[in-house]
Amino acid sequence: QKEVEQDPGPLSVPEGAIVSLNCTYSNSAFQYFMWYRQYSRKGPELLMYTYSSGNKEDGRFTAQVDKSSKYISLFIRDSQPSDSATYLCAMNDYKLSFGAGTTVTVRA
């Protein structure tokens, strides 16, 4: 069993829809949670990070962590075609562990 599980998708939504992404993990020692966005043939860029259970909002993005269920989510509101990318969750326990990434396409 992988430490971090992420549905690879692909996920296709119309412009303006809410995109919902999630990851589950098995290592209860993970304390720090991140979401990265990766455009094709580019390096991942950090979108959000959080280290506590609950919600964290940044513009159209909301990161949610539920440590009791070992489950994290990323929501993208009012999605735009420019949000089309692969989204990677990552968790830190002195070394980063990544999910496989979910490919998202936002249709104009």
**Choice between 17 and 22, CB closer to another protein:** 22
- Return the number of other C-beta atoms located less than 10 Å from residue 46's C-beta: 10
Q: Is 99 in the site for another protein (CB under 8 A)?
A: yes
CA distance 23 to 80: 22
Applying CB under 8 A, among 10, 15, 42, 78 the residue interacting with another protein is 42
The least distance separating another protein from the CB of residue 16, rounded to whole angstroms, comes to: 29
CA 84 to chain centre: 13
Closest to another protein by CB, 8 vs 54, is: 8
